[in-house]
Amino acid sequence: MKREENPMSRLTKLTKGAAAAALLAATSLFGVSAEAKTTIRVQSVIPNTADEVVMLQDFADDVKALTDGEVEFEILPAGAVVGVQEILDAVDAGLIDGGFAWTHYWSGKHPAAMLFGSPVAGAGIGIDNIAFMSWYLNAGGKELYDQLWKEMGVNVKGFMLQPVGPEALGWFKEPITTMDDFRKYRFRTPPGIPGQTYKDIGVASVAMGGGDILPALEKGTIDAAEWCCPKPDSVFGFQKVLKHYYLQGLHQVVVNADLYLNGDVFDALTPLQQKAIEVAANASLMKAMAYRINENGKALDKLINEDGVELHDTPAEYFTEYMAAANAALEKNAAENAFFKQVWDSQKEFARTAVPYWAQAQRTNANLGAAYADTLKKQ
């Protein structure tokens, strides 16, 4: 004979079931279930103390806030999983979820990578870092950037995060007054066409990752080096081993640090989460520019007035020699690669009207700034 269930017991079960259903509905509605949380592991090509990683973490914080905590980034330092030069392949293979580097690092996979990561000598057409952002966001550059990964044959979704430029020529043991002085040194340069262009003008260019530069200087493997700008350079500690600094350089008038996500990882996100990453990336472009100007100004002041660094003007002949070699490299690659030509033609069409306008507008800004800087020297 079946025993009848206690009414209080049945009520308890019903109450618990209703509560469980309500909790399930709430977690589905508000996205707070454990299953909804996604952690994306990103390996950088530089140490986590670098300024670029500080800005990368700010981007990650924005994504977390925009997704209400559903998407988090874990930033891994250089070498945590794979070597610097292996990062893009590791992202493609899904060994890591994402990577953080400069797209010209992958010029060996496709020469057009340089036109996005570091268009040598302003792509030979006078594009600076702000004008580049105009081309990228408003004149077809982003669509070509998305096509780059297909041209490389990698399963990657890229996001441009951190524009900078122009970068400093670099750091030297002794002052260089001529190009012959420059050619005496083994000089760390970025990889790809910007570094190759130095070789083309007779400079002993040595490409290496950021984390290897200072040890190489201390060991004497290289004699001079470039990295970025006053703040990142001072964080790296160049002023500890070299005291002669040159701000004006052409090799990276424009340079952009990017995030690379495995395509399957990105596709697994919801449309809202994908849009949050896109919005945070676009915000990062402006935030990075703002950060650079303020932090570089303070850092340069400290380098000169507290750290004993001497600031010099770059020899005039450098500009004519490097620009000629850069234009030759651009023409050569355009003749040999159809997609390179497509990207460069797009940049040239943009520059045809944008650069004359922007150069004239910037002249006012430059003159105004120079006049104020002169008053500071007299104080």
Question: What are the CB-based long-range contacts (under 8 Å, 24+) for 202-209?
Answer: 209/45, 209/46, 209/78, 209/84, 209/85
Query: Any residues with CB less than 8 A from the CB of 302 and at least 6 apart, and which?
Result: 234
Check whether 183 is labelled as a binding-site residue: no
**Contact between residue 110 and residue 239 where contact means Cβ atoms under 8 Å apart:** no
Where would I find the beta strands (DSSP E) of 6-93?
38-44, 71-76
Q: pLDDT band for position 32 (50/70/90)?
A: very low
Check whether 349 is labelled as a binding-site residue: no
pLDDT of residue 52: 92
Backbone angles phi, psi at 172, to 5 degrees: -135, 155
pLDDT of residue 365: 82
Question: Per residue in 327-357, pLDDT tens?
Answer: 999 999 999 999 999 999 999 999 999 999 9
SS3 for 230?
helix
CA distance 120 to 194: 6
Check whether 226 is labelled as a binding-site residue: yes
For the chain, give the percent of residues with pLDDT over 70.
Answer: 91
Question: Per residue in 140-181, pLDDT tens?
Answer: 999 999 999 999 999 999 999 999 888 999 999 999 999 999
pLDDT of residue 7: 38
Q: How open is the CA angle 308-313-314, to the nearest 5 degrees?
A: 120
Give me the mean pLDDT over the 90-103 stretch.
Answer: 97
Q: pLDDT band for position 35 (50/70/90)?
A: low
Burial tier of 264 (Cβ tally within 10 Å: 0-12, 13-18, 19+): exposed
Name the packing angle between helices 129-138 and 141-152 (round to 10°).
80
**Domains along the chain?**
36-166+255-292 (3.40.190.170), 170-251+313-360 (3.40.190.10)
- DSSP 8-state assignment for residue 327: H
**Sheet hosting strand 224-225, strand order edge to edge:** 204-207, 186-189, 224-225, 170-172, 244-246, 310-312
**31 CB neighbour count, 10 Å cutoff:** 16
CA distance 307 to 31: 51
**64 CB neighbour count, 10 Å cutoff:** 16
**Sheet hosting strand 38-44, strand order edge to edge:** 71-76, 38-44, 98-102, 255-262, 156-164
